[in-house]
Amino acid sequence: MSSGSELWFEEILEKENGHTFKIKIDNLIERVDSKFQRIEVYETVPFGRMLVIDGVIMCTEWDEYAYHEMIAHVPMFTHRNPENVLVIGGGDGGTIREVLRHPEARRVDICEIDGEVVRLSKKHLPTMSSSFDDPRVRLYTEDGAKYMKEHPSTYDVIIVDSSDPIGPAVVLFSEGFYVDMKNALRDDGIIATQCESFFYHSDIVERITGYAKKHFAVPGYYYTVVPTYPSGIIGFCFASKKYHYKKDFRPERVSPMQGQLKYYTPEVHGAAFTLPAFIGNRIKL
C-alpha cells in the first residue's frame, strides 16, 4: 500500500482485534501466484529483502537467523548423531543452511510442496537459498505429509518449517501428522516444528504440545525472538523418542560452530525452554 509518495507493506495480524504490522518498502521485486498461494519478494527499507506468502511475512534478511538457527540447532545438537535429516517446508533454504553446518549431517532431504517458493528464493534470497547447491541436499517438490508416510524409520531429525495453519499447511498441525513423523523417525529420533506465538496462538500451542506429550517420550516447547513476526516471538514444538533437550545436550559440541552463529548459543539452548507462567502453566510440560 502507499502513503503519499511512500510505499508500505502491511501485514494484518489479527483483523478482529485491530493488530497490524507495517514495513516501509522500496519496491515489490516479484510477485507470483502459484497453484497453492501468492508469493511476493519485497525490497524493504529497514530489513533488506522480505519473503511474503499470502500476505504473511515468512522471513526478512535482517532477522531470519533468529528463527532458522533455533529451529535447526536445538534438535540437531540434542541428537547424538543426526546423519539423516528431513525438512518439511522451508523453501527459502534458511533451515537447511543451518542443518548443513553440522558435519554429522550426511543426507538432508527437503520436501517443499510449492516449487515456486524455492525458485523465487534461489533468485532473490541467495544468503539462504545457496544451501540448495550442497550435494547432501535432495529437494522434493511434493506433499510432505504424504512423503513421510512412505519413509518409515528413516530419519534422525525431522524439522517442520511451515507457514501458519492455513491452506496447504493445515495438515502439518494435525495429530495424524505427528504420528506419521514419529513413524518416520528412527528409534532415537527428534522432531522440531514451527508452533506459533504463545501470545497470539496459545490454543494451537496447547493442542500441538498435547500431541507431543501423547506420542513422544520427551515433549517440549521453546521459543525465539524474531522482531518481524507477530508479537516478536515464535515458538517450536520439540518432541523426542529418547534424548532430552537439556539432560542429553552437550554444550561442547557447539564450540566449533560458535563463530558462524548470530543467535544460538549453548546458554540460549537451555533458556529457550523456560516459559512465562501463563503458557507454562497451561501446557504443563
Q: Please identify every residue annotated as catalytic.
A: 161
Question: Rounded to whole angstroms, what are the CA distances from 260 to 65, 97, 200, 263?
Answer: 11, 11, 32, 10
**DSSP β-bridge partners for residue 139:** 110
Q: Where are the alpha helices (DSSP H) in the chain?
A: 64-78, 94-99, 115-124, 126-129, 144-149, 175-184, 202-215, 266-271, 277-283
98 — phi, psi (to 5°)? -75, -40
Are the C-beta atoms of residues 210 and 201 closer than 8 Å to each other? Answer: no
Nearest to 76 by CA among 43, 102, 39, 97: 102
Distance from C-alpha of 51 to C-alpha of 30, rounded to nearest angstrom: 10
- Looking up cell 495438515 gives 171
Three-class DSSP category at 106: coil
240: left (phi over 0), alpha (psi -120 to 50) or beta: beta
Q: Are 82 and 153 in contact (CB under 8 A)?
A: no
CB 10 within 8 A of CB 22: yes
What's the chain's length in residues?
A: 285
